[in-house]
Structure 1
Amino acid sequence: MKALVVLMFLCSIPLSANAGVYKWVNANGQTHFGDRPPAQATSSEVAVNAAPANADTGARERHQKMTEFLEQQQAERKARRAADAKAKEKAEKRADVCRKLRARLKYLASVSTFYDLNDQGERVFVSEAENTRIREDFREKVRSTCGNE
């Protein structure tokens, strides 16, 4: 009950706060307006029709919807840019890896034979079949990683 009385009181404040507006003309013929009548001149009270506080709720709703739409568009644009940047970075890394793999493949083609090191640190050359298998395995790795670009 007290809350209802307080609410009604608060709603009536803007109506009672609407002070009068006075109009008068000074000795030079200039028209003035004020919230208090002048002491030396005759004035008349002017009726001022204030716009209601909730004049256009539709406009506020449209503004709110437009703001939400623009924020959503901005978020989507930001997400798209981030995804594009990530995809570009991934493509650049892949291109770099493929460049290195192809250079290594070219080097392997120039090597006549491969070898392993034994426990004494001596070279032990592999067979020609093993050389062919090593090259073919690496070619397949390049194909699977980089495709036939």
Structure 2
Amino acid sequence: MRVWLGIAMLWSSCAMAEVYRWTDAQGQVHFGERPPAGAQRVEVRPQVIEGDADGRERAARWFDARREERDAARQQASQRRGERERECQGLERRLAALSQGGRYFSQDATGERHYYSDAQIEAARKALSDQMNGSCR
């Protein structure tokens, strides 16, 4: 609908322009908006062209396709926002767990625990904070 409104506004501004007709010394007929001396003003009426049924159907399909594309883009953006929110909530939980204190460890393939040092815990906190600042705020 906005497209048609824009076309109508553009068309109406074109229709309001004054057009002049003149003949030069060689007998050539010219038209323009800025007339030389002796030019005649010409009244120009916009021609209204009714589209045939096929043209209207093509236009309707085109507008429907654009609407579907817009809706799909909105849905994808909504899904990305939801995924980002879930990711941020997970980062917040991990950061809260690290901030509570305690002993943290990782397990290797054999099941052996490797406990984190204070420096490793602080580095993990900083990495989580940086990641949250980068993607969640």
Shorter-chain TM-score bucket reads 0.5 to 0.7
Letter in 2 for 1:71: R
CA deviations 1:19-67 (Å, max 9, x no partner) are xxxxxxxxxxxxxxxxxxxxxxxxxxxxxxxxxxxxxxx86x5322222
User: Aligned partners of 2:107 and 2:60: how far apart in 1?
Assistant: 66
Contact 1:114/1:126, CA 8 A, preserved across alignment: yes
How far apart are residue 126 of structure 1 and its match?
3.6
Contact 1:113/1:128, CA 8 A, preserved across alignment: no
Question: Tell me, which stretches of 5 or more residues in structure 1 are unaligned?
Answer: 1-57
Specify whether residues 70 and 89 from structure 1 end up closer, same or farther in structure 2 by C-alpha distance, changes over 3 A only: same
Say which of 114, 117, 121 aligns to 2:104.
Answer: 114
How many residues are aligned here? 88
User: What SS does structure 1 have at the residue aligned with 2:52?
Assistant: helix
Residue aligning to 2:41 = none
Aligned: 1:141 with 2:131: yes
User: What SS does structure 2 have at the residue aligned with 1:72?
Assistant: helix
Residue aligning to 1:27 = none
Letter in 2 for 1:91: R
Identity across aligned pairs (percent)? 19
Contact 1:113/1:131, CA 8 A, preserved across alignment: no
User: Aligned partners of 2:84 and 2:52: how far apart in 1?
Assistant: 47
How far apart are residue 116 of structure 1 and its match?
4.8
* Backbone CA RMSD of aligned residues: 2.6
Equivalent residue runs for 1:119-130 within 5 Å:
121=112, 125-130=115-120
How far apart are residue 84 of structure 1 and its match?
0.9
Equivalent residue runs for 1:13-32 within 5 Å:
none
User: What SS does structure 2 have at the residue aligned with 1:111?
Assistant: coil
User: Aligned partners of 2:122 and 2:73: how far apart in 1?
Assistant: 42
Equivalent residue runs for 1:95-110 within 5 Å:
95-110=85-100
User: What SS does structure 2 have at the residue aligned with 1:108?
Assistant: helix
User: What SS does structure 1 have at the residue aligned with 2:102?
Assistant: coil
User: What SS does structure 2 have at the residue aligned with 1:112?
Assistant: coil
User: Aligned partners of 2:107 and 2:134: how far apart in 1?
Assistant: 29
Structure with the bigger RCO (C-alpha within 8 Å, sep 6+) is: 2
How far apart are residue 131 of structure 1 and its match?
2.3
Question: Tell me, which stretches of 5 or more residues in structure 2 are unaligned?
Answer: 1-48
What TM-score results when the alignment is normalised by the length of structure 2? 0.52
